[in-house]
Amino acid sequence: QKDATETGATLAVVKDPEEAAADADVIYTDVWASMGQEDQAPEKEQQFLAYQVNSRLLSLAKKDAIVLHCLPAKRGKEITDEVMDGPQSVVFDEAENRLHAHKAIMALTM
């Protein structure tokens, strides 16, 4: 919050996904059960179903909003195929850029 104030940005923490998506520039999601926690997946799916990034949720964001996911994605769970493969998705660009960022870090630390 302090950094946001110092830079003129705003930061709001909300629990309602529709409130969070309303007029958003970016919608970011991640897997609901991390690798190694697959046994928790059914429980997590129940807990987070309201947070699924789908076309209805995306329709609340700005018309030029982008969608991000760090991958790997569980299609149909945290993000729908329609959104992940849609024109506002930059999921695969994000993944490609991460590769180059990792290579740059390796080059700097070798």
Q: What is the CATH number of the domain that holds 75?
A: 3.40.50.1370
How high does pLDDT run on average in the chain?
Answer: 96
Residue-wise pLDDT for 48-99, tens only, equals 999 999 999 999 999 999 999 999 999 999 999 999 999 999 999 999 999 9
Element (H, E) at 68: strand 66-69
Q: Quick check: 46 and 39 in contact, CB under 8 A?
A: no
pLDDT attached to residue 50: 96
% of the chain exceeding 70 in pLDDT? 100
**Number of structural domains found in the chain:** 1
Return the beta strands (E) in the chain as ranges: 26-29, 66-69
Closest of 30, 32, 38 to residue 71, by C-alpha? 30
Predicted confidence (pLDDT) at residue 10 exceeds the cutoff of 90: no
- Output phi, psi for 38, to 5 deg: -60, -30
Amino acid code (one letter) for 53: V
Looking at residue 12, what is its pLDDT?
A: 87
Confidence check: pLDDT of 1 > 90: no
What's the pLDDT score for residue 107?
98
Domain that holds residue 52: 2-109
